[in-house]
Amino acid sequence: MPELPEVEIVRQSLHKKIKKKSIKKVIIRNRNLRFKIPVDFESFLEDKKIIKVNRFSKYLIIHFQNENYFIIHLGMSGTIHILDKKKPFKFTNTSFYHSPFLPKKHNHAEFIFDNLRVIYNDPRRFGFFEIIKDHQNLKKRFESMGPEPFSDKFNLNYVENYFKQKNKDIKSFLIDQRFVSGIGNIYASEILFACKINPFKKAKHLNKNECTKIILNSKKILERAIDKGGSSIRDFKDITGNKGTFQNEFKVYQQDGDDCKRTKCKGIIKKKITSNRSTFFCNFCQN
């Protein structure tokens, strides 16, 4: 499942290609995504001019000129492909997960511009589309979610107050979108390794120094991942032919059985399954 850095790479690709363009036509081939696409979806989007493509957490937000909004969530397996008539790309995928080429199956939606086609592909159909008709409702849509790691609201006062009397482990909190938005399983393990914090330590037992480390390393690691183009868990490329390379910097994720990469640490990277999710950590420096 794409996490914040991977969705940000999709956002950058889309923003570059479709800003200031109008949607000429919408073709829906399958309305049965996670939430069924309504019958008036096509007519609502057609002829609307795009001002910019934004993002909150793992959600893409397309801003229209008339202050309507179109939200896309990629779910577990959703990908967005761009086909450019003027400059055909060998690789159509806007990010680094799943096939770099436009698949023949599961192309559920197509958005047609003058010289571009944007295609939404989703084999598992856990992604969804959502129309928001004004700024107030857009704000309301995300009010139950926690701040992004890059937000000024994700600060020491917020984290310490949130963790008071909380018995849940810190790894579970980092992937809980009600606490902080955008961090998923991959980056939660990497953040906690950088902090030297045991992923199964209860949140209420974290001290001020540990909370500060979580805040700083969340920002640092996600910024680094975006700078590196995200993480290509498989060997695929984006529309420019580049691969996300942050996976080359993984310290613990999918490194189980390896020696710890921290200098002078004698630990081994372990893998533990909790709530059907894999958690990777060093059994020595994160003990």
- Catalytic hit among 3, 8, 148, 210: 3
- Catalytic hit among 11, 55, 58, 213: 58
Q: What is the spatial distance between Cα 8 and Cα 263, in angstroms, rounded to a whole number? A: 32
Q: Quick check: is 2 catalytic?
A: yes
Q: What is the spatial distance between Cα 78 and Cα 37, in angstroms, rounded to a whole number? A: 15
Short-list 19, 92, 15, CA closest to 49? 19
The string over 133-153, giving b where at least 16 C-beta atoms fall within 10 Å of a residue's C-beta and e elsewhere, is eeeeebeebbeebbbbbeeee
Q: Quick check: is 3 catalytic?
A: yes
Helix, strand, coil distribution of the chain in percent, nearest 5: 25, 25, 50
Q: What is the spatial distance between Cα 72 and Cα 158, in angstroms, rounded to a whole number? A: 28
Q: What is the spatial distance between Cα 15 and Cα 55, in angstroms, rounded to a whole number? A: 10
Q: Which residues are catalytic?
A: 2-3, 58, 277
